[in-house]
Amino acid sequence: MSSVSNGRLAESAAAGFLMYKGCEIIARNWRTRECEIDIIAQRAGILYFCEVKYRKTALQGSGLAYITPKKLQQMRFAARQWLAVNEWRGSYRLSAIEVSGPEFRITAAIADIS
């Protein structure tokens, strides 16, 4: 199975998890030439810009460990782009979901990594 397929499956698992938690999925794989957002979800009037990190095995380390200060900067930039394009004036959070293994299990979720 290709990494693109694994990425899509991981994002589908993360979207399912968010819906289970009561979120509405606003967009998946929102992109511009400069940035991308894996999942945009909304719950209780708050938008969540979600980065999905997939790891096939624990040998690769925690997916959340790959959310570096540089990645957070990229996430903030992408969120600001979406907010401007969509004229959103409400609350939002940067969040992350770790998906692991061949079963695409949610192994960690952070609602606010801003």
More confident residue, 15 or 2: 15
* Residue 29 confidence (pLDDT) above 60: yes
- Residue 64 confidence (pLDDT): 80
Q: Which helix (H) or strand (E) holds 3?
A: helix 3-20
Which residue has tokens 């293994």? 101
Record the pTM: 0.89
Q: Which residues contact 26 (CB under 8 A, 6 or more apart)?
A: 40, 41, 42, 47
3-state class (DSSP) for residue 69: helix
Band of the pLDDT at 4, cuts 50, 70, 90? low
More confident residue, 69 or 57: 69
How many domains would you assign to the chain? 1
Handedness of CA 68, 42, 4, 79 (dihedral sign): negative
Which domain, by its residues, includes 11? Answer: 3-110
Mean per-residue pLDDT, 55-79: 84
CATH number for 7: 3.40.1350.10
How many CB atoms are closer than 10 A to CB 74?
17
